[in-house]
């Protein structure tokens, strides 16, 4: 167990189960361009590198012009559906309450507009000291910019913070930003990929987080 002052969380696959609403918006966008839908499980594998890469993969083989149009169409669909099924994973609220005396932040590659709507829609804004999205800094994770931005805004040294996420990008960003890292095995990332980048901690069940940090 280590002592920390700040917990930084990824969003998709870490705090919230957002995958079905993302898949819905992607398939509605494909439909609007007369393209066949993709299996939801395939779309889940596209999540984690930001919306642009999500749609690049979904529209692979299509023209650049079509892809640029798709970004605008996807935005309309996702804003309309991002709270259809999205919820915090079971146990997350209890974990956040357990750490009520610690600073807590969200640092996600999801654009801030979507992130903010989800956080407000779930009524959890007050649980976090800071919420940043993929367009809050110039670079997406695994670049450490967003983690460093959180540290700077909240006035916490890297060694007193931990980045918690379900993706390789989260672990690499934490390492380059000088924070500890904790990979979670219940989200969208593959456990073998997470373990291969050697996170400082690994948590299979969200309710185990309080046993790792104090």
Q: What per-residue confidence (pLDDT) applies to 64?
A: 84
Q: What per-residue confidence (pLDDT) applies to 67?
A: 85
CA nearest neighbour of 11 among 163, 210, 176: 163
CA nearest neighbour of 83 among 39, 123, 50, 112: 123
pLDDT tens track for 160-186: 999 999 999 999 999 999 999 999 999
Contact 25, 82 (CB under 8 A): yes
Over the range 52-86, which residues count as b (16 or more CB within 10 Å of their CB) and which as e?
eebbbbbbeebeeeebebbeebbbebbeebbeeeb
The terminus-to-terminus CA distance of the chain in angstroms comes to 7
- Going residue by residue through the chain (214 aa), what tens digit of pLDDT does each one get? 899 999 999 999 999 999 999 999 999 999 999 999 999 999 999 999 999 999 999 999 888 888 889 999 999 999 999 999 999 999 999 999 999 999 999 999 999 999 999 999 999 999 999 999 999 999 999 999 999 999 999 999 999 999 999 999 999 999 999 999 999 999 999 999 999 999 999 999 999 999 999 8
What span, in angstroms and rounded, lies between the C-alpha atoms of 167 and 70?
Answer: 25
Q: Cβ atoms within 10 A of the Cβ of 176, count?
A: 15
> Domain spans of the chain?
6-17+87-212, 19-81
Segment holding 5, helix H or strand E:
none
Class of 19-81 per CATH? mainly alpha
Is 135 among the catalytic positions?
no
- Write the CATH number of the domain with boundaries 6-17+87-212: 3.40.50.1000
Q: What per-residue confidence (pLDDT) applies to 68?
A: 87
Instruction: Name the catalytic one among 5, 10, 49, 84.
Output: 10
């Amino acid at each position: 167990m280590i002592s920390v002052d700040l917990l930084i969380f990824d969003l998709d696959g870490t705090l919230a189960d957002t995958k079905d609403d993302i898949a819905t918006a992607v398939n509605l966008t494909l439909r609007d361009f007369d393209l066949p839908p993709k299996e939801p499980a395939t779309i889940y594998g596209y999540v984690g590198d930001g919306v642009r890469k999500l749609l690049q993969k979904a529209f692979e083989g299509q023209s650049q012009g079509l892809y640029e149009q798709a970004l605008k169409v996807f935005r309309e669909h996702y804003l309309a559906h991002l709270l259809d099924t999205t919820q915090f994973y079971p146990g997350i609220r209890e974990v956040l309450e357990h750490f009520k005396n610690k600073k807590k932040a969200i640092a996600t590659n999801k654009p801030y507009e979507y992130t903010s709507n989800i956080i407000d829609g779930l009524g959890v804004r007050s649980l976090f000291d800071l919420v940043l999205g993929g367009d809050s800094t110039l670079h997406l994770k695994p670049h450490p910019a967003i983690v460093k931005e959180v540290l700077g805004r909240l006035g916490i040294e890297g060694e007193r913070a931990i980045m918690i996420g379900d993706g390789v990008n989260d672990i690499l960003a934490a390492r380059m930003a000088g924070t500890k890292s904790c990979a979670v095995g219940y989200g969208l990332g593959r456990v073998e990929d997470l373990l291969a980048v050697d996170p400082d901690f690994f948590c299979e069940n969200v309710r185990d987080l309080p046993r790792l940090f104090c």
